[in-house]
């Protein structure tokens, strides 16, 4: 009998962030394993994205084409993740009586409680939990809504590139897919953390995506996304407050941010460094406050459990000292993804693992 050799299936995955476009090429080994063959990152052309939609399809397409050529990315099947700025998500507890249709219940709930036109939006939902009552079932659903025009702008990009669109997804879904698997934390780190924090809740954790315009809070329980909120403040806002504090251009402020990070100024620090630190700390404290409110809301109002760990992703998570600062403020251990090994996700020898922080969403949707 003739045996057909195992065909490796290639897939291109594109994450269009406000600041950076990330493209990965993966091969799917079987239904549950991926191999990152290659990737490329380029700056998103300025003024091309507005309110989460691609305004200038032409320019963005050209930039993506450059990355594809420079990195010899050859696969034609493609998935794309949209920018997080204009996605609305909510968790609802609804009642489902026998014979009722879940789609209709969700549609009616959205129409009543979400400030959107249900005809113009693509509405998706996931059932998180079902609790049987006497005559009906209480259903906890996670609902997301995105304007159809926004989705179309991303499909247009794939078509213009001559690629075959497989899906358009939101960052929360790709993050959830990535972290839905068995995660192993570097042992040395983990022993230290366990001593410091005692017994941790292993089943509930948060993933914080520090992007350029947004900070996205995701909470997963037993591998399922149970909470998501997009905070409209990101790492580029730090550039702005630094620029203002030390009277420099935002580009120079960004350079200083990357160089000094959240390092507490020492005795010999310049006045400039002190001003910069104070400005950054104020802004980061404000974001942490909002993150804390999300955790609190999840634990108290969404029937959630205590969050046992935090994983940080996104370019902004590389800020020096941020991890330690978050940990101190929230009293929850914080891990960067570089320290993790994730079941079924393998990366080609020689590729820069540090860059993984940027690639979670593009890798996530391939799973």
> Which of 122-130, 234-242, 298-306, 343-351 is the region at the interface with ligand ATP (rule: CB under 6 A)?
234-242
Where does this chain bind Mg ion (CB under 5 A)?
A: 17, 211
Our finding on whether 254 is near ligand ATP (CB under 6 A) is: yes
- Of 171, 310, 289, nearest in space to 233 by CA: 289
Our finding on whether 48 is near ligand ATP (CB under 6 A) is: no
Is the Cβ of residue 142 or residue 358 nearer to Mg ion in the bound state?
358
Is the Cβ of residue 105 or residue 151 nearer to ligand ATP in the bound state?
151
**Residue 256 beta carbon to ligand ATP: minimum distance, rounded to whole angstroms:** 10
Question: 296: part of which helix (H) or strand (E)?
Answer: helix 271-301
From ligand ATP, Mg ion, none, interface partner of 257 (C-beta below 5 to 8 A by class): ligand ATP
Cβ 313 vs Cβ 235: under 8 Å: no
From Mg ion, ligand ATP, none, interface partner of 18 (C-beta below 5 to 8 A by class): ligand ATP
Our finding on whether 228 is near ligand ATP (CB under 6 A) is: no
Member of 12, 121, 217, 315 binding ligand ATP (CB under 6 A): 315
**Residue 42 beta carbon to Mg ion: minimum distance, rounded to whole angstroms:** 14
Is the Cβ of residue 40 or residue 211 nearer to Mg ion in the bound state?
211
Strands 88-96 and 121-132: unpaired
Is the Cβ of residue 40 or residue 333 nearer to Mg ion in the bound state?
40
Question: 58: part of which helix (H) or strand (E)?
Answer: helix 57-70
Is the Cβ of residue 52 or residue 211 nearer to Mg ion in the bound state?
211
From residue 366, how far is each of 162, 214, 218, 271, 304 by CA, in Å? Answer: 19, 23, 19, 47, 28
Is the Cβ of residue 89 or residue 214 nearer to ligand ATP in the bound state?
214
Q: Which residues of 102-127 are buried (b: 16+ CB within 10 A; e: fewer)?
A: eeebbeebbeeebeeeeeebebebee
Our finding on whether 20 is near ligand ATP (CB under 6 A) is: yes
* Backbone conformation region of residue 150, classed left if phi is above 0, alpha if psi is from -120 to 50, else beta: alpha
**Residue 241 beta carbon to ligand ATP: minimum distance, rounded to whole angstroms:** 12
Strands 183-185 and 137-147: unpaired
Q: What letter does residue 345 receive in the DSSP assignment?
A: E
Question: 335: part of which helix (H) or strand (E)?
Answer: strand 334-336
Count interface residues toward ligand ATP (CB under 6 A): 22
Is the Cβ of residue 92 or residue 260 nearer to ligand ATP in the bound state?
260
Q: Within the chain, where are the H helices? A: 57-70, 102-113, 148-160, 171-178, 187-197, 235-246, 250-260, 271-301, 322-330, 356-364
**Residue 85 beta carbon to ligand ATP: minimum distance, rounded to whole angstroms:** 7
Compute the chain's Rg from CA coordinates. Answer: 21
Cβ 57 vs Cβ 160: under 8 Å: yes
Our finding on whether 17 is near ligand ATP (CB under 6 A) is: yes
The interface mask with ligand ATP, positions 157-196, x = CB under 6 A, is ----------------------------------------
Is the Cβ of residue 16 or residue 106 nearer to ligand ATP in the bound state?
16
Is the Cβ of residue 17 or residue 52 nearer to Mg ion in the bound state?
17
CA distance 246 to 228: 35
Q: And the tokens for 329?
A: 């403020």
The interface mask with ligand ATP, positions 59-98, x = CB under 6 A, is ------------------------xx--------------
Cβ 81 vs Cβ 171: under 8 Å: yes
**Residue 314 beta carbon to ligand ATP: minimum distance, rounded to whole angstroms:** 4
DSSP SS3 for 172: helix
Q: Which residue has the tokens 């992007």?
A: 211
Q: For residue 216, which phi and psi values (nearest 5 degrees)?
A: -105, 130
> Which of 156-164, 196-204, 212-220, 304-312 is the region at the interface with ligand ATP (rule: CB under 6 A)?
212-220
From ligand ATP, Mg ion, none, interface partner of 204 (C-beta below 5 to 8 A by class): none
- Of 278, 279, 229, nearest in space to 250 by CA: 279
Q: For residue 203, which phi and psi values (nearest 5 degrees)?
A: -85, -20
Which residues in this chain contact ligand ATP in the complex, by CB under 6 A? 17-20, 83-84, 211-214, 234-236, 254, 257-258, 314-316, 318-319, 358
């Amino acid at each position: 009998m003739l045996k057909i050799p195992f065909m490796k299936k290639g897939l291109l995955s594109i994450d269009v962030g406000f600041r950076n476009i990330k493209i990965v090429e993966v091969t799917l080994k079987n239904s549950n394993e991926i191999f990152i063959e290659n990737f490329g990152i380029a700056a998103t052309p300025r003024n091309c994205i507005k309110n989460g939609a691609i305004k200038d399809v032409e320019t963005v397409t050209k930039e993506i084409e450059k990355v594809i050529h420079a990195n010899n990315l050859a696969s034609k099947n493609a998935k794309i993740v949209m920018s997080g700025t204009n996605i609305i998500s909510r968790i609802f507890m609804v009642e489902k009586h026998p014979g009722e249709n879940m789609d209709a219940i969700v549609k009616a709930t959205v129409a009543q409680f979400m400030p959107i036109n249900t005809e113009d939006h693509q509405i998706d939902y996931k059932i998180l939990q079902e609790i049987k009552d006497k005559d009906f079932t209480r259903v906890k659903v996670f609902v997301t809504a995105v304007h159809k025009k926004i989705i179309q702008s991303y499909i247009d990009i794939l078509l213009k590139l001559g690629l075959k669109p497989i899906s358009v997804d939101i960052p929360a879904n790709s993050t959830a897919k990535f972290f839905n698997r068995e995660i192993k934390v570097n042992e040395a780190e983990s022993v230290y953390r366990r001593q410091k924090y005692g017994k941790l809740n292993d089943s509930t954790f948060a993933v914080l995506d520090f992007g350029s315009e947004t900070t996205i809070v995701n909470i997963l329980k037993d591998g399922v996304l149970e909470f998501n909120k997009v905070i409209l403040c990101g790492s580029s806002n730090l550039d702005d407050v630094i620029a203002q504090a030390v009277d420099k251009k935002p580009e120079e402020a960004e350079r200083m941010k990357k160089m000094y990070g959240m390092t507490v100024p020492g005795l010999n620090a310049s006045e400039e460094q002190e001003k910069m630190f104070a400005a950054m700390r104020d802004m980061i404290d404000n974001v942490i406050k909002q993150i804390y409110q999300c955790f609190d809301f999840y634990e108290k109002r969404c029937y959630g459990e205590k969050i046992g760990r935090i994983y940080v992703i996104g370019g902004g998570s590389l800020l020096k000292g941020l991890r330690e600062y978050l940990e101190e403020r929230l009293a929850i251990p914080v891990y960067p993804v570089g320290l993790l090994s994730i079941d079924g996700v393998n990366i080609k020898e020689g590729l820069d693992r540090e860059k993984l922080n940027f690639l979670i969403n593009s890798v996530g949707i391939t799973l």
